[in-house]
Amino acid sequence: MRTKVAIIGAGPAGLLLGQLLHKSGIDNVILERQTPDYVLGRIRAGLLEEGTVALLDEVGAGARAHREGLVHHGVELAFGGARHRIDMKAATGKTVMIYGQTEVTLDLMNARRAAGLTAVYEAADVQPHDFDTDHPRVTYAKDGVTHEIACDFIAGCDGFHGVSRASVKPSAIETFERVYPFGWLGILSETPPVSQELIYTNHARGFSLCTMRSMHRSRYYLQCPLDDHIDQWPDERFWDELKRRLDQKAVDNLVAGPSIEKSIAPLRSFVTEPMRFGRMFLAGDAAHIVPPTGAKGLNLAASDVHYLAAALREYYAGKSSAGIDGYSAKALARVWKAVRFSWWMTSILHRFPDTEGFGARIQLAELDYLVNSKAATASLSENYVGLPY
């Protein structure tokens, strides 16, 4: 088989890239290791920047997000026993949308299917080859038979544990990493959210976040030790601990119910430089990871593929290779700003092993400054709603 762009991974990055390329008449094939149901069952991000929604619109996959997504104008920061609202719309003119990654993925899968495009699920042993030559190819096995796809370019959209980044020779790649000494325990529950907007809480017992998927499905997170296991967190313990970290009004409003999903995720900042290796590009989690505190992971995957699709469009229009040559630097400039923002949000909201007297006072001073200074509120808001592409 031959295609222009072989895309490895059918997460949001791979699926969105596939549709953006298709829209420009650039044929592509997606290879995904898992089944569609497995991909759709992964509960991850929930908050979309306006730029991400605009990209869904661009590929004709945004209609349901506009119908069912919840547009939020602000968020609440809670510390020192009180809640403070940040009006992001007033500060930036922009909003964010609550719409789950599972829904984004489903809408993109449906768009791909409706366009009659190829996505090979349960592709085993996917391997990129010869991307440092003009004739890259990708091999994979399906139902025990080995296949080869010859292509012009490979897009590594296969997440943090994917094969694309792992195929680059170590001398060609530089990585930057920060691992945080805690995780996020998350639950999803078929209950109304505790508040209309998200509540990020700095508390002596640890960070908590109240978020949602809809007005009848809520999502909550608690900072927890890295070595905790979900078996140690029966629902009752989760709700008790969440209540201890919330203000009285939130406790009074909280509707507890059985969890329908529960997981613990480690927090990590990780960046790969560069994001291009000859004829292979990395995009999304394959190239970088951020802690979820700033809600940037999925949104960065979207901005990466926006840059990549534009670069490939320029290349195939016969204009020049300038776009593909500039992809890595352009994407990384935005990536690093989101990495900084996510690291900073994480650092002011969580308990670290050394957050005792001094560190805790510094966090409170910074949070107090954030909610009371117009300049600081504006800075937080413009990063949270998403920096321009």
Residue 12 binds what, of ligand PHB, ligand RFL, none (CB under 5 to 8 Å, by partner type)?
ligand RFL
Under 8 Å between Cβ of 197 and 74: yes
- Name the 3-class secondary structure at 310: helix
Determine whether 384 is an active site residue: yes
Residue 285 binds what, of ligand RFL, ligand PHB, none (CB under 5 to 8 Å, by partner type)?
ligand RFL
- Of residues 162-201, those binding ligand PHB (CB under 6 A): 198
Smaller CB separation from ligand RFL, 74 or 292: 292
Q: The tokens of 183 are what?
A: 């995780």
Residue 11 binds what, of ligand PHB, ligand RFL, none (CB under 5 to 8 Å, by partner type)?
ligand RFL
Determine whether 72 is an active site residue: yes
Catalytic residue among 22, 292, 307, 327: 292
Smaller CB separation from ligand RFL, 295 or 349: 295
- Name the 3-class secondary structure at 74: strand
Under 8 Å between Cβ of 295 and 47: yes
Q: CA dist 189 to 3, 64, 222, 254, Å?
A: 43, 22, 14, 12
Q: Considering the complex, what minimum distance in angstroms separates the CB of residue 9 from ligand RFL?
A: 3
Determine whether 330 is an active site residue: no
CA 201 remoteness from chain centre: 21
Under 8 Å between Cβ of 184 and 223: yes
Q: CA 288 to CA 338: how far, in whole Å? A: 10
Q: Considering the complex, what minimum distance in angstroms separates the CB of residue 251 from ligand RFL?
A: 23
Dihedral (C-alpha) 238, 240, 244, 245: value to the nearest 10 degrees?
A: 20
Q: CA 333 to CA 340: how far, in whole Å? A: 11
Catalytic residue among 200, 220, 307, 327: 200
Q: Considering the complex, what minimum distance in angstroms separates the CB of residue 72 from ligand PHB?
A: 10
Q: Residues interacting with ligand RFL, by CB under 6 A?
A: 8-14, 31-34, 39, 44-46, 101, 123, 126, 157-160, 162-163, 265, 284-285, 292, 295-298, 301
Catalytic residue among 12, 22, 72, 291: 72
Binding residues (CB under 6 A) for ligand PHB: these are 45-47, 198, 211, 219, 292-293, 295
